[in-house]
Amino acid sequence: MIAPEAIDHVGIAVADLDGAIARYTRWLGVAPFAREEVAADGIEAVLFQVGPNRVELLGSRRADSVVDRFLQRRGEGLHHLAYLVPDVAAALAAYRAEGATLIDEVPRRGAAGRLVAFVHPRSTGGVLVELCQSTAVGP
């Protein structure tokens, strides 16, 4: 198994992104450092730096997005836990070798241009796991 280098961020699904930004700015005592639409996923991500880690607020931009489906089923709350790994493709291969159910069979572009992939919660104790690689690879 590929050991994570760190917990990169905690993703939180929110129904009202602007309202959540205001609350988290007050609660964390810092303003977000990035806001980005990930059009392919139909989401908008807002990142806060909290010490060495990040909190990512996720808002839906369309009715068929994964965040919208999550909000419809579960309401607001913890969406995923993201681990920083040196090589997402290698980490995916290791999860696959362990028999894990993968959401992404190959890495893809996520927020901030990172290479990302998701592992299904049924293989990770009920937690959606995102594997992310901080270095950009390929186009």
Average pLDDT over residues 121-127: 95
Asked whether the predicted pLDDT for residue 60 surpasses 50, the reply is yes
83 in a domain, yes or no?
A: yes
Q: Say what the pLDDT of residue 138 is.
A: 41
Residue 1 maps to a domain: no
In a domain, 110, yes or no: yes
**What is the tally of structural domains in the chain?**
1
Report if residue 117 sits inside a domain.
yes
Give the residue numbers spanning the domain of 78. 6-133
Task: Report if residue 44 sits inside a domain.
Answer: yes
pLDDT digits over 24-58, tens only? 999 999 999 999 998 888 999 999 999 988 999 99
Output phi, psi for 16, to 5 deg.
-120, 95
Complete edge-to-edge strand list for the sheet that includes strand 77-84? 34-38, 43-50, 53-60, 6-13, 77-84, 129-133, 115-119, 108-109
Average pLDDT over residues 71-82: 96
In this predicted structure, the answer to whether residue 109 has a pLDDT above a threshold of 90 is no
Q: How confident is the model at residue 127 (pLDDT cuts 50, 70, 90)?
A: very high
User: How confident is the prediction for the chain on average, in pLDDT?
Assistant: 92
Establish if 84 belongs to a structural domain.
yes
Is 139 inside any structural domain?
Answer: no
Domain harbouring 70, CATH code: 3.10.180.10
- Domain assignment present for 13: yes
Work out the percent of the chain whose per-residue pLDDT is above 90.
83
